């Protein structure tokens, strides 16, 4: 209740301010306080002031417009719907009629608690199936308790794919006759579509019109191409360049591009969907992103990300050189002028004799890397959330280095490939298989596999990545790489691969290493456009 003071001659009394039928309003309080000149006193009706919010069905809200919640169906006052949405959860079925007993006999796994309860079957098979479903739905967060980050990612993505296995599959079709620009446009159109969050975990099927390849190998090829394009640019002209790059910078210091056209096209949200979708289906990670950008992306605060900033994160070389001047002990007049001009351009404190140069260095670098890319990072975060991968980053921060690794950590080495190959002379021979290695002399097999070993040992990291993509469809290492030496159908018989089965077939007609290397390099150049075999 509101009171106002009245009286004079040293005696003041509190008089109740009358209210309308619906309570106080602004007009009454302005009149009672003489437009704020007089003091009003609040006297609570309770002995202790109750600060608990009223329930949504309280009588005080009865005259407000009511709307139903689309999630739980509860009728809520329109003005309070936003507050209700923060804590709203879909209704869950109560499982009070079923109790799981710790009993070795499967037939006693369920106990009826009501006389009218219907049991969907009396066989032990039905009971075991019901018990399995109960246990599987009772442990949705095993990934939170996983010992290692790799296991956590595997379990989390497995849960996502399991939840989307009954949804309509996502189908991506590319045309083999299109050029690079046409294929890139198809990828951009697919990932710019705003699918539901659950839809990104649905089965992902890909096909290339005009190419005979089908199966998981095509999916691997497309996911690998998506991440590669995301790192090095799409063949798409947005008005300023023939190649549109979403990220730029040095190795392990990539930052979002400060392009207004890319930002207005919502392409960074598309980039977040690409990264999350690739992670869900076990594809290659997005490597080389700046550590400061990763922290700003996940934690959303510049204070944490500032500690990992470095001059290499600043892409603009002029700005990098100007900011780096603050690390010098003595500044010339020209240096001071350059720093002052940059400070005024970015509305930051101007350099003076009393300025803390280290603090100003951090402020300028933070604005150059994170401040100007704030909207790009927000879009990237939005895209990641839309794929459903965001809870993994928040609840298991130890998985972040695996989802956004350093370039050195994903570099493919000759040793890793050689150790994964299942060499043909170690396989068990099968005389009933007319296409097996026993049709090729052992000496020829040794010479051909020796050529491959030499090529792998001498190849660069980029060539090894292309070899792995030609072999299995993407650059994600697998446990075993199968190798076969087959009978040649002529000198024009090139090596072929079955990406779905991780199998590489090499014809046995090679006599020199130079001829073998020339054919292998020709195969690697076809990685971006086609396949060897189905």
* CA dihedral for 43, 46, 47, 52, sign (positive or negative): negative
- Show Cβ contacts of residue 449 under 8 Å, excluding neighbours closer than 6 positions: 423, 424, 425, 483, 485
- Residue 500 falls in the annotated catalytic set: yes
Enumerate the H helices of 96-194 as residue ranges.
124-138, 149-163, 180-192
Token pair for residue 292?
A: 């400061």
Q: DSSP letter at 351? A: P
Residues 288 and 250: beta-carbon distance below 8 Å: no
The Cα-based distances of 366 to 302, 303, 348, 372, 418 in angstroms read: 8, 9, 11, 9, 44
- Show Cβ contacts of residue 27 under 8 Å, excluding neighbours closer than 6 positions: none
Question: Which residues face 172 on adjacent strands?
Answer: 206
Residues 494, 482: Cα–Cα separation, whole Å? 17
Residues 259, 268: Cα–Cα separation, whole Å? 11
Residues 412, 409: Cα–Cα separation, whole Å? 9
Residues 277, 381: Cα–Cα separation, whole Å? 13
Give me the catalytic one of 314, 343, 500, 523. Answer: 500
Estimate the crossing angle of helix 267-280 against helix 149-163, to 10 degrees.
100
Residues 357, 502: Cα–Cα separation, whole Å? 56
Closest Cα partner for 441 from 488, 497, 496? Answer: 488
Catalytic residues: 500
């Amino acid at each position: 209740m509101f009171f106002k003071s009245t009286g004079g001659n040293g005696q003041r009394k509190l008089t109740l301010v009358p209210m309308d039928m619906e309570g106080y309003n602004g007009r009454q309080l302005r009149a009672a306080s003489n437009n704020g000149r007089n003091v009003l006193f609040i006297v609570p009706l309770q002995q202790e002031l109750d600060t608990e919010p009223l329930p949504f069905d309280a009588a005080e809200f009865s005259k407000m417009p009511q709307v139903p919640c689309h999630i739980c169906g509860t009728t809520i006052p329109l003005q309070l719907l936003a507050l209700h949405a923060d804590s709203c959860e879909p209704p869950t079925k109560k499982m009070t009629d079923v109790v799981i007993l710790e009993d070795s006999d499967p037939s006693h796994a369920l106990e009826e608690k009501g006389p009218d309860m219907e049991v969907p079957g009396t066989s032990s098979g039905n009971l075991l199936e019901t018990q399995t479903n109960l246990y599987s739905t009772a442990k949705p967060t095993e990934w939170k308790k996983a010992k290692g980050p790799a296991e956590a990612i595997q379990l989390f993505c497995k849960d996502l794919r399991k939840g989307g296995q009954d949804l309509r599959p996502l189908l991506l079709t590319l045309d083999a006759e299109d050029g690079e620009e046409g294929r890139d446009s198809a990828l951009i159109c697919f990932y710019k579509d705003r699918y539901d969050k659950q839809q990104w975990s649905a089965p992902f099927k890909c096909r290339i019109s005009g190419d005979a390849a089908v199966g998981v190998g095509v999916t691997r090829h497309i996911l690998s191409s998506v991440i590669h394009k995301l790192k090095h640019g799409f063949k798409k002209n947005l008005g300023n360049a023939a190649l549109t790059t979403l990220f730029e910078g040095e190795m392990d210091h990539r930052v979002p591009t400060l392009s207004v056209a890319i930002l207005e096209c919502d392409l960074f949200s598309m980039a977040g969907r690409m990264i999350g979708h690739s992670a869900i289906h076990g594809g290659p990670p997005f490597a080389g992103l700046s550590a400061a950008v990763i922290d700003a992306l996940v934690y959303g605060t510049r204070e944490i990300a500032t500690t990992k900033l470095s001059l290499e994160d600043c892409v603009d070389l002029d700005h990098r050189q100007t900011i780096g001047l603050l690390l010098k002990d003595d500044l010339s007049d020209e240096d001071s002028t350059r720093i002052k001009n940059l400070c005024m351009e970015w509305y930051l404190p101007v350099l003076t004799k009393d300025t803390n140069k280290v603090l100003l260095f951090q402020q300028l670098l933070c604005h150059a890397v994170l401040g100007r890319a704030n909207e790009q990072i927000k879009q990237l975060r939005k895209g990641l959330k839309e794929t459903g991968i965001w809870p993994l980053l928040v609840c298991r921060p130890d998985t972040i280095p695996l989802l956004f690794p350093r370039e050195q950590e994903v570099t493919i080495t000759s040793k890793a490939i050689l150790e994964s190959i299942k060499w043909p002379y170690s396989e068990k021979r099968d005389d009933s298989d007319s296409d097996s290695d026993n049709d090729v002399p052992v000496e020829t097999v040794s010479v051909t596999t020796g050529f491959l070993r030499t090529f792998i040992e001498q190849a660069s990291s980029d060539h090894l990545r292309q070899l792995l993509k030609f072999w299995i469809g993407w650059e994600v290492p697998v446990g075993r790489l199968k190798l076969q030496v087959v009978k040649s159908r002529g000198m024009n018989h090139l090596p072929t691969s079955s990406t779905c089965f991780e199998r590489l077939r090499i014809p046995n007609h090679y006599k020199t290493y130079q001829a073998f290397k020339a054919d292998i390099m020709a195969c690697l150049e076809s990685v971006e456009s086609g396949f060897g075999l189905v």
